[in-house]
């Protein structure tokens, strides 16, 4: 059995509030100081969450508040003294749910009425065995619901998750989550701490990713999306190698060199399908294409005799093949086994344009990943030692409590953090010999007498 908890206190903020101006025995009316913001079909909290005599009531379905009187749909359960706060709360129930994945559909396990005498609403679950728990608030009058909470793994939080580190850090200093020591502050400090540690070494081994498969390549293409967690999406500063299939690594060139290599290559996409028997091809933009020539679309080749740049329509000989809208169209380039590569705008580009010999081969990348930004409880730090971040966070929490003034306690955790960080650096540096290659323009290795064809690998300038 697992006990799930939803915090009630967040419901008692930023909503209309007033105060009783007369004692109330169990009854159906409340005499209050101000009725502004109060209406029919509302849920009210009389008192404060966690007090023994607090309760949740509902306003009448038809009789609106008037003067200093709020009419309830049913009698209150407890007597309340003058001066007791009365506030609107948006929800009066908690929906406890389960999903097999983080983004999968959620199944309700139980809907539990909120108990005003407690700071939390709890549910004991014996049903879910895998996946994730979620909670959300519900209004029993309107059936409206809040957004779902962050996920809670059914098997509990792993040691690298933000929730585990935050809870351990709070326990180390004898504190619990509070408005001062809230989750958002902890998340931001975990991010700051990771950044500080990662800056201690130029490259950490645990940030390396080897032989990552980017996916299969297709004939007639020259780019593939870089991994979303690649640290630098526009240079090779965090890339070691890029290769296709079992071939050797491609030669890396900078953007200036790349522009030289693809000089004379025009590319766009198909604006509509090409069907068997078609005599025209409509491009997304034909402005850079010659008046006549040849285009490559996937594995197919089309000769065209005219280019209407106003309509982006090419006139072709009758088509015997088909292609689909959105496919890449090239003209003035070379097809073959790619030799050169570069990266910009989140894509890795390769040249020559992929031919049929490399069709359906996988592209592989060795690279450094970027830091995971901590935004919710289940996010995991990238550091392989959670204790480093526990000490760091404990130090920052004690500093926050003391308004930024170092104390003996905060300095103690700071020293522990530094010692643990240095130990992590020592372990990571042992036996490391793999280094990134420096950016190199291959032209500098050639004689000044080399002509352009030699520098570009003797590639043809056309088909």
Q: What is the mean pLDDT of residues 406-418?
A: 97
Per-residue pLDDT tens over the stretch 271-280: 999 999 999 9
Instruction: Print burial letters for 246-261: b (CB count within 10 Å at least 16), e (below 16).
Output: eeeebebbeeebbeeb
Per-residue pLDDT tens over the stretch 339-356: 999 999 999 999 999 999
**Has residue 110 got a pLDDT over 80?**
yes
Q: Which two tokens stand for residue 306?
A: 């005219």
Confidence of residue 179 (pLDDT cuts 50, 70, 90): confident
CA-to-CA separations, 405 to 54, 174, 408, in angstroms, rounded:
39, 19, 10
Per-residue pLDDT tens over the stretch 118-134: 999 999 998 888 899 99
Confidence of residue 236 (pLDDT cuts 50, 70, 90): confident
Distance CA 461, CA 463 (A): 7
């Amino acid at each position: 059995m697992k006990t799930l908890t939803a915090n009630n206190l967040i419901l008692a903020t930023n909503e209309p509030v007033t105060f009783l101006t007369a004692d109330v025995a169990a009854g159906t009316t409340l005499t209050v100081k101000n009725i502004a913001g109060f209406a029919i079909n509302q849920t009210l909290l009389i008192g404060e969450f966690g007090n023994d005599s607090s309760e949740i009531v509902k306003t009448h379905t038809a009789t609106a508040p008037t003067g200093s009187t709020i009419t309830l749909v049913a009698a209150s359960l407890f007597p309340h003294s003058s001066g007791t706060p009365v506030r609107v709360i948006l929800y009066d129930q908690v929906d406890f749910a389960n999903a097999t994945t983080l983004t999968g559909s959620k199944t309700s396990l139980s809907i539990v009425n909120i108990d005003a005498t407690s700071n939390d609403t709890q549910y004991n679950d014996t049903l879910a065995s895998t996946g994730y728990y979620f909670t959300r608030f519900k209004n029993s009058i309107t059936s409206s619901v809040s957004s779902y909470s962050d996920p809670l793994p059914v098997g509990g939080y792993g040691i690298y998750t933000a929730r585990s580190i935050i809870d351990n850090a709070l326990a180390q200093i004898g504190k619990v989550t509070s408005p001062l020591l809230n989750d958002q502050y902890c998340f931001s400090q975990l991010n700051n701490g990771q950044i500080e540690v990662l800056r201690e070494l130029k490259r950490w081994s645990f940030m390396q990713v080897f032989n990552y498969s980017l996916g299969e390549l297709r004939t007639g293409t020259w780019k593939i999306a870089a991994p979303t967690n690649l640290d630098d999406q526009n240079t090779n500063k965090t890339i070691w190698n890029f290769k296709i299939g079992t071939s050797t690594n491609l030669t890396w060139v900078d953007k200036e060199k790349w522009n030289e290599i693809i000089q004379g290559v025009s590319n766009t996409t198909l604006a509509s399908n090409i069907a068997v028997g078609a005599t025209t091809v409509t491009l997304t933009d034909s402005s850079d294409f010659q008046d006549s020539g040849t285009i490559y679309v996937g594995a197919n080749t089309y000769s065209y005799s005219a280019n209407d740049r106003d309509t982006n329509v090419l006139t072709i000989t009758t088509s015997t093949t088909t292609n689909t809208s959105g496919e890449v169209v090239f003209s003035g380039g070379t097809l073959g086994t790619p030799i050169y590569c570069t990266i910009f705008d989140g894509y890795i580009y390769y040249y020559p344009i992929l031919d049929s010999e490399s069709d359906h081969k996988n592209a592989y990348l060795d690279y450094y990943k970027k830091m995971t930004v901590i935004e919710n409880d289940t996010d995991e730090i990238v550091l392989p030692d959670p204790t480093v971040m526990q000490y760091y966070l404990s130090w920052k929490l004690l500093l926050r409590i003391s308004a930024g003034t170092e104390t003996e306690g905060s300095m103690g955790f700071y020293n522990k953090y530094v010692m643990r960080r240095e130990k992590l650096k020592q372990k990571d540096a042992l036996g490391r010999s793999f280094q990134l290659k420096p950016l190199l323009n291959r032209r500098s290795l050639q004689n000044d007498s080399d002509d352009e064809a030699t520098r570009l690998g003797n590639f043809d300038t056309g088909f």
